[in-house]
């Protein structure tokens, strides 16, 4: 009896740990963990005059030149609570997870702008998500590991497009889903142009605008033919794998 009880408890514990992603409040914890780590703590350090190192790091000059397009990797797996009645990762859970992944990605790339803005200007900027699209291609099975890679895709006068891609292990072409999110940077009612945010983040280079303009041509067809599914996120320009 007691052995049975004990094994049951252990089983429950294993189940709960393995599905930590979807435990109550886990979403908020995962979300605010990113915000605190990437924005709140650096801001406090800045206030204390500790000169925190802000923004993504680059290994080479070439990498730095196209730094605004740096891909950011998020490793995870499909926990049991995310599974639907067809035994694959439920479509709706992608959106929730993408919130966290993008918070990590956007706060890393634009960390310098987001942390320093209030010290320079006195008001706080914020990121408004004005739309998210998802393109599903392959299912993700329970406990299957996958990566979510994200990067800035392009921008126009007002909106910045952020691309995320779910990939399964194995060949490059095993894309489970791609998602394109639209961001508008706001300071109260005022809209801050993406290019000004890029400059304030120390990520401007004359060549990046040409790349953005090329990538921008693919935005309108994102949902139609799934071309963005095959984009190699390791390269700044939208080259198919």
Ligand X SMILES: *[C@@H]1O[C@H](CO)[C@@H](O)[C@H](O)[C@H]1NC(C)=O
Task: Tell the residue number behind the tokens 């918070």, with chain if given.
Answer: 103
- Of the pair 194, 236, the CB lying nearest ligand X is at 236
Considering only the stretches 4-12, 32-40, 121-129, 167-175, report the one whose residues sit in contact with ligand X under the rule CB under 6 A.
167-175
- If binding is defined by CB under 6 A, does position 84 make contact with ligand X? yes
Among 74, 146, 153, 155, binds ligand X (CB under 6 A): 146
By the rule CB under 6 A, 141 interacts with ligand X = no
Tell me if residue 215 falls in helix, strand or coil: helix
Touching ligand X, residues 44-83 (CB under 6 A): 73, 75
Note whether 91 binds ligand X by CB under 6 A. Answer: yes
| Choices 10-18, 106-114, 142-150, 212-220 (CB under 6 A): range interacting with ligand X | 142-150
Number of residues that bind ligand X (CB under 6 A): 13
Which distant-in-sequence residues (6+ apart) come within 8 Å of 119 by Cβ? Answer: 46, 47
- Both tokens of residue 19? 């599905």
Nearer to ligand X, 135 or 201 (CB): 135
Nearest CB to ligand X, comparing residues 239 and 241: 241
Give, in order, the Cα–Cα distances in Å from 84 to each of 88, 90, 139, 142, 172: 6, 5, 11, 10, 26
Interatomic CA distance for residues 229 and 138, integer angstroms: 11
| CA gap 97, 213 in Å, rounded | 28
Does residue number 145 form part of the binding site for ligand X (CB under 6 A)? yes
**What is the closest distance, in whole angstroms, from the C-beta atom of residue 227 to ligand X in the complex?**
10
Integer Rg of the chain from CA = 20
Using the rule CB under 6 A, give the single segment among 3-11, 54-62, 106-114, 145-153 that binds ligand X: 145-153
Q: Which of 166, 195, 193 is nearest to 179 (CA)?
A: 166
DSSP 166-193: EE-SSSTT-EEEEEEEEEEEEETTEEEP
Which is nearer to ligand X, 146 or 162 (by Cβ)?
Answer: 146
Q: Which two tokens stand for residue 161?
A: 């497009």
147, 191, 227, 232: which one contacts ligand X (CB under 6 A)?
147
Contacts with ligand X by CB under 6 A lie at 73, 75, 84, 91, 136, 145-147, 167, 169, 173, 230, 241
């Amino acid at each position: 009896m007691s052995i049975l009880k004990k094994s049951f408890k252990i089983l429950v514990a294993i189940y709960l740990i393995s599905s930590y992603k979807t435990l109550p409040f886990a979403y908020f914890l995962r979300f605010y963990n990113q915000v605190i780590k990437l924005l709140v703590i650096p801001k406090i350090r800045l206030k204390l005059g500790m000169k925190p190192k802000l923004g993504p790091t680059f290994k080479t000059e070439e990498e730095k030149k196209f730094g605004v397009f740096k891909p950011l990797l998020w490793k995870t797996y499909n926990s049991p609570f995310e599974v639907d009645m067809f035994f694959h990762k439920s479509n709706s859970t992608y959106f929730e997870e993408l919130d966290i992944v993008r918070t990590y990605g956007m706060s890393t790339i634009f960390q310098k702008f987001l942390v320093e803005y209030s010290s320079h200007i006195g008001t706080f900027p914020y990121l408004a998500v004005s739309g998210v699209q998802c393109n599903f291609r392959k299912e993700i099975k329970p406990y299957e590991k996958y990566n979510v890679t994200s990067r800035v895709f392009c921008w126009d006068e007002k909106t910045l497009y952020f691309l995320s891609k779910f990939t399964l292990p194995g060949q490059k072409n095993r894309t489970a889903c791609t998602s394109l999110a639209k961001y508008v940077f706001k300071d109260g009612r005022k809209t801050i142009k993406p290019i000004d945010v890029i400059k304030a983040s120390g990520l401007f280079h004359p060549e990046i605008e040409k790349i953005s303009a090329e990538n921008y041509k693919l935005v309108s067809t994102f949902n139609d033919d799934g071309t963005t599914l095959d984009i190699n996120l390791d390269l700044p320009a939208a080259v198919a794998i």
